[in-house]
Structure 1
Amino acid sequence: MRTVQRQGSVDHPLRRGVLLPARELAVAWSLIALIAALAWVLTVGQARGMGIGPGTMGTGLPLFLLLWLAMMAAMMLPSVAPVAVTWAKGIARQCGGATRALRTGTFLAGYLIAWTAFGLLAYGGLALTGSLVDQHPDAGRWIGASAFALAGLYQLGPLKDICLRHCRSPMAQLIRYASYRPPLRDLRVGLHHGAYCVGCCWALMVVLIPLGVMNIAAMAGVATLIFLEKLWYRGPQLARVAGVAFLLLAVLAVLAVFQDWLLPGLQSPMTPM
């Protein structure tokens, strides 16, 4: 008997489970890992020269966005790699290896553009908090407490849960993306997924205001938390635990407990340690 396809069903490679050859799959993972590693090298090298301080630390907007892009590539690409590789599987039968690599790179470019757009807001927030700390050094603990409290409340809220579910199980959206038309389809897919990722993780970036935006240890900790939230089977529970921990840190910041290590990104030169 002939199998009759249901009317209206989508016969797309993503639904059929197309697999890349093992060698090409390894190349895709290796390239993403290489980009992330190079981004970490650039970020660490720049952080050593800048140190940890309040605000934008004297960087202009263009340089800040360049550094922010490197940071996001370092912190976010490991957790988005499975989605990028899944998209590459979906287009496996539609193009050759070189074209597929280009399209996957375009997907990653769109993803990073979404985070670069958020970097504009981050720059404004850092400039504002840096100015407040310079004028009122004692305001640092209140800014830090507000940042931790905001992150904690968002981690426990419904919007975080919605965006995290998308990032953990994006297959339905990837299938819907098949209706997008070229030539900007892959860029749109990356932008759309990146927007969900920003919605999932922006509050975790906020904690870098008190911890220090160029604090390598803090960046590594946040990147690890993001990776586990998205890929570990207990990721949603971990997100809630992190939310409670951030609320506790907000209380400690108000009480000025462990202020020397809790708020290094809000320590004005005039503030006694």
Structure 2
Amino acid sequence: MQLLHITAPAPVRPPASPLRRDVMVAWSLMVLIAALAWVLTVGQARGMGVGPGTMGLALPLFLLLWLTMMVAMMFPSVAPVALTWARSIGRGSSGAARAVRTTEFVGGYLLVWSAFGLVAYGLLTLTGEAVRDHPGAGRWIGAGVFVLAGLQQLGPLKRVCLRHCRSPMLQLLQYARFRPWLRDLRVGAHHGLYCLGCCWGLMIVLIPLGVMNVAAMAGLAAVIFLEKLWRYGPWLTRAVGVTFLVLGVLAPFQHWLLPGLAADEPSMGPMGPM
């Protein structure tokens, strides 16, 4: 007697919803933009080297380079928040409308970091002049920056802002109450302020390490990403804070820790004398 083997039909997966496809496209696009920003940053850094201060860059060029650096360093960690906001606003909206609103969110976020770039330019200008006039001052500037960054990592402002960056859903729901006028831009800027409060201590260590130090940028970007998305991120925050305090103690006696505060000749990059 021959037995009939009946094979059950394979389950048919429902097609991905337009919203889900748009989110996947947006995620891929942000990753691609971050990768391109890294390529541009590394290419420029190779021509400039590591030196004190702004390395002779005029303010507009510095801000352009700073914004590229922020895209490279921050997009991997801000992408989940931007996409969560896109999903929350996406239902009932067309793909084009979601793309525009997500772009506004990212624009508001970058606007905050561009404003911080003005502060960074001022600090780098002051430290660069101090190192040129008093080369020995670099060790104490570096020590002070590391200690300040360590205290910020261990302080209450860091905990509050990091808590928001790690679990932004409640805040995103509150953002829905914002008035419609430029709401997405303001939401991005509001989240950017939390991110700035969380990460400004990490950014200022580029003063002693060098604003164009690619290895330092990559390390800081990894710390920022893990602090916000890794389950042990808060523990990493404390470990990095203690490390900065130790570096602050060692900096006056270990000059190799301060490549960004070592006075040298202006570099010759692809854009000419810096």
TM score, norm. by length of structure 2: 0.89
Q: How does 1:54-93 map to 2 (within 5 A)?
A: 54-93=52-91
Q: CA deviation at 1:226?
A: 0.3
Report percent identity of matched pairs. 69
Q: CA deviation at 1:91?
A: 1.1
In structure 2, the partner of 1:134 is 132
Q: CA deviation at 1:209?
A: 0.5
The amino acid that maps onto 2:144 is S
SS of 1:52 mapped into structure 2: coil
The amino acid that maps onto 1:241 is A
Q: CA deviation at 1:183?
A: 3.5
Q: How does 1:1-273 map to 2 (within 5 A)?
A: 21-254=19-252, 256-257=253-254, 259-260=255-256, 262-269=257-264
- Structure 2 alignment gaps of length 5 or more: 1-16, 266-274
Moved over 3 A (4+): 19-22
Q: CA deviation at 1:24?
A: 2.1
> What are the superposed Cα offsets for residues 93-139 of structure 1, whole Å, 9 maximum, x if unpaired?
13111110111011001000000001110000000000000001111
Q: CA deviation at 1:233?
A: 0.6
> What are the superposed Cα offsets for residues 142-192 of structure 1, whole Å, 9 maximum, x if unpaired?
011011000001101111100100111111110011111223000000000
**In 1: Cα distance, 2:189 partner to 2:35 partner:** 22
Cα RMSD of the aligned pairs, angstroms, is 1.2
Measured at CA, do residues 94 and 180 of structure 1 come closer, stay the same or move farther in structure 2, by a change above 3 Å? farther
Measured at CA, do residues 131 and 95 of structure 1 come closer, stay the same or move farther in structure 2, by a change above 3 Å? same
- Structure 1 alignment gaps of length 5 or more: 1-18
Q: Is the 8 A contact 1:133 1:268 kept in 2?
A: yes
**In 1: Cα distance, 2:212 partner to 2:222 partner:** 16
The amino acid that maps onto 2:82 is A
**In 1: Cα distance, 2:175 partner to 2:183 partner:** 8
**In 1: Cα distance, 2:152 partner to 2:131 partner:** 25
**In 1: Cα distance, 2:89 partner to 2:19 partner:** 13
The amino acid that maps onto 1:269 is D
**In 1: Cα distance, 2:160 partner to 2:35 partner:** 30
Equivalenced residue count is 249
**In 2: Cα distance, 1:21 partner to 1:188 partner:** 23
Q: Is the 8 A contact 1:20 1:92 kept in 2?
A: no
Q: Is the 8 A contact 2:146 2:247 kept in 1?
A: yes
**In 1: Cα distance, 2:59 partner to 2:91 partner:** 42
> What are the superposed Cα offsets for residues 223-254 of structure 1, whole Å, 9 maximum, x if unpaired?
00000000001111110100000000011102
Q: CA deviation at 1:21?
A: 4.0
Q: Is the 8 A contact 2:19 2:95 kept in 1?
A: no
Q: Is the 8 A contact 2:154 2:241 kept in 1?
A: yes
